[in-house]
Structure 1
Amino acid sequence: MRVVAGEFGGRKLKTLPGKTTRPTTDKVKGAMFNMTGPYFSSGNVLDLFAGSGSLAIEAVSRGMDQAFLVEKNFRAMAIIKENVAMTKEEASFHLMQMPANKAIQQLIDKDITFDLILLDPPYAEQEIIKQLTALAQAGLVAPEAIVICETDKDIELPERIEQFIQRKRQLYGLSAVTIYDWEAE
Structure 2
Amino acid sequence: MKQPAKSPSLQKAGDNRLRIIGGQWRGRKLAFPDVEGLRPTGDRIRETLFNWLAPEIVGARCLDIFAGSGALGIEALSRGADYCLMVERDRQATSALRNNLALLNCSRAAVRDDDALAFIAKGNSEPAYDVVFIDPPFSLSAWPKVIDSLVQGQWLAANATIYIEAPIDYPLMAPADWSLHRDKRAGKVAYRLYYRNAEA
TM-score, normalized by the shorter chain, greater than 0.5? yes
Q: Cα RMSD over matched residues?
A: 1.7
| 1:15 aligned residue | 32
TM-score scaled to structure 2, two decimals?
Answer: 0.84
Alignment-mate amino acid for residue 100 of structure 1: A
Q: Distance in 1 between matches of 2:40 and 2:90?
A: 14
Alignment-mate amino acid for residue 175 of structure 1: V
| 2:116 aligned residue | 100
Q: Distance in 1 between matches of 2:56 and 2:127?
A: 21
CA contact (8 A) 1:113 1:140 kept: yes
CA contact (8 A) 2:32 2:96 kept: yes
Which of 161, 171, 181 in structure 1 is aligned with 2:185? 171
Alignment-mate amino acid for residue 71 of structure 2: S
| 1:86 aligned residue | 103
Q: Distance in 2 between matches of 1:18 and 1:80?
A: 13
TM-score scaled to structure 1, two decimals?
Answer: 0.90
Q: How does 1:106-121 map to 2 (within 5 A)?
A: 106=122, 108-109=124-125, 111-121=126-136
Q: Distance in 2 between matches of 1:35 and 1:177?
A: 12
Q: Distance in 1 between matches of 2:56 and 2:79?
A: 5
Q: Distance in 2 between matches of 1:70 and 1:19?
A: 16
Three-state SS of the structure 1 residue aligned to 2:198 is coil
Q: Compute the displacement of 1:68 (Å).
A: 0.4
Alignment-mate amino acid for residue 101 of structure 1: L
User: Which of structure 1's runs of 4+ aligned residues deviate more than 6 A?
Assistant: none
Which of 58, 68, 73 in structure 1 is aligned with 2:90? 73
Alignment-mate amino acid for residue 172 of structure 2: L
The gaps in structure 1 that reach 5 residues or longer are: none
For residues 124-171 of structure 1, give each alpha carbon's deviation from its aligned partner in whole angstroms, at most 9, with x where no partner exists.
11222221221112222113211111112222322x325222222210
Q: Relative to 1, partners in 2 of residues 1:50 and 1:18: Cα closer, same or farther, differing over 3 Å?
A: closer
User: In the alignment, is residue 148 of structure 1 matched against residue 148 of structure 2?
Assistant: no
Q: Compute the displacement of 1:16 (Å).
A: 2.1
| 1:184 aligned residue | 198
Q: Relative to 1, partners in 2 of residues 1:38 and 1:29: Cα closer, same or farther, differing over 3 Å?
A: farther
| 2:57 aligned residue | 40
Three-state SS of the structure 2 residue aligned to 1:50 is coil
Q: Compute the displacement of 1:2 (Å).
A: 0.8
The gaps in structure 2 that reach 5 residues or longer are: 1-17
Q: Distance in 2 between matches of 1:45 and 1:66?
A: 6
Q: Distance in 1 between matches of 2:139 and 2:112?
A: 21
Q: Answer with 137-146 or 70-79: which moved more.
A: 137-146
**Equivalences, count:** 182
Paired-residue identity, %: 29
